[in-house]
Chains A and B, each alone.
Chain A
Amino acid sequence: MTDNGKQQMPFRLLLAVLLSTLAAGLGYAVLSLPSLAPGLSEQVAGKLETSGVSNPVTAVLLNFRAYDTLLELGVLLLALLGVWSLRGLPERRESSPGPVLDTLSRLLVPLLILVAGYLLWVGAYAPGGAFQAGSVLGAAGVLLLLAGWRPGARFAGLRLRIALVAGLGVFMGVGIMLILVGGHFLEYPPPFAAALILLIEAAATLSIGLTLAALFLGDRPETGARR
């Protein structure tokens, strides 16, 4: 609403002054930090050998702080369940995608899937990993949805559900299996760490990509069997 913009002017000025004070305080806090602070990078570098990967970010994400990543996959799934539980989102008007988008998506989607696979693999020793690969996969899904593709009833049922929970499921499964063989939750034995991380990342990539595309679609895809 802009009709009461005049009345709000003093309020906005006061707010701007208050927020400038906040920004100045935050800026002062940042500037008073030491200019050299290695943080935890030395501990990470020291333990990198045993993590199974040589990219420190992947090592932190999937080994040293795997709990965070596990819970994050849970949050992603919860957000999707939240969106799906809001039945009756307004119908979107569909327009025909046109020949450019149609052709481009046909060319790009296989390429994006290839890039996702590459990012997943390269994450072990260079920037990349499950989240980057998952986002690229999600982008491929969004492109398909924009071009008018909709998941058919055959895919939208149990298969989609299994793929969506695969990341969290495999992660939990590996963690529990490690307890059963006598270790701690998500404490990979170094000889198997690389393989376990790749397994978890592959499942997580699939789940992240599908979840992002499903979030874009919004409504729960019809399975045909229900009601």
Chain B
Amino acid sequence: MNAVFLYALVGIGLFTLGLYALIVYRHLLRKILAINVMGSGVFMVLVALAARTQGATPDPVPHAMVLTGIVIAVSATALALALMLRLRAETGRTEFPEERLE
């Protein structure tokens, strides 16, 4: 196991931690943060797996994808935060209404 797989496994760990927080916490800010942690994990896996080349230069295609993804993640986060603020201004709540089964 070399450094590439270590980084990729850490990325998977981040993704799973983020997914856990996304499900467990009810506050929307925490959910937004959790999605960002999940995204960072995915980026880390992509960047790590891009380094599996013979020479010193990694595969540029995943790097370009990550670069694109970071900007998308930032803009989506901004939109999500604005939606959350609007929800709070409208209803005073920062959580989704609880859904009861049955």
Residues of A whose CB lies within 8 Å of any CB of B are: 1, 8, 12, 15-16, 19-20, 22-23, 26-27, 30-31, 33-41, 44-45, 56-57, 59-61, 65, 68-69, 72, 75-76, 79-80, 82-83, 86, 88-90, 129, 131, 134-135, 208, 211-212, 215-216, 218
Q: Is the interface of A mostly helix, strand, loop or mixed?
A: helix
Query: Contacts of A22 on B, CB cut-off 8 Å?
Result: 16, 19
In this complex, what residue of A is CB-closest to B72? A75
Q: How many residues of B contact A (CB 8 A)?
A: 47
In this complex, what residue of B is CB-closest to A73? B71
Query: Contacts of A39 on B, CB cut-off 8 Å?
Result: 50, 52-53, 59, 61-62
Interface residues of B in 1-25 (CB under 8 A from A): 1-2, 4-5, 8-9, 12-13, 15-16, 19-20, 23-24
Q: A57-B60, A69-B68 are in contact. Are A86 and B83 (CB under 8 A)?
A: yes
Taking a contact as CB atoms under 8 Å apart, the answer to whether A79 and B85 are in contact is: no
Interface residues of B in 21-36 (CB under 8 A from A): 23-24, 26
Taking a contact as CB atoms under 8 Å apart, the answer to whether A57 and B49 are in contact is: no
In the assembled complex, the Cα of A35 lies from the Cα of B52 at a distance in Å of 6
Query: Contacts of B5 on A, CB cut-off 8 Å?
Result: 30-31, 35
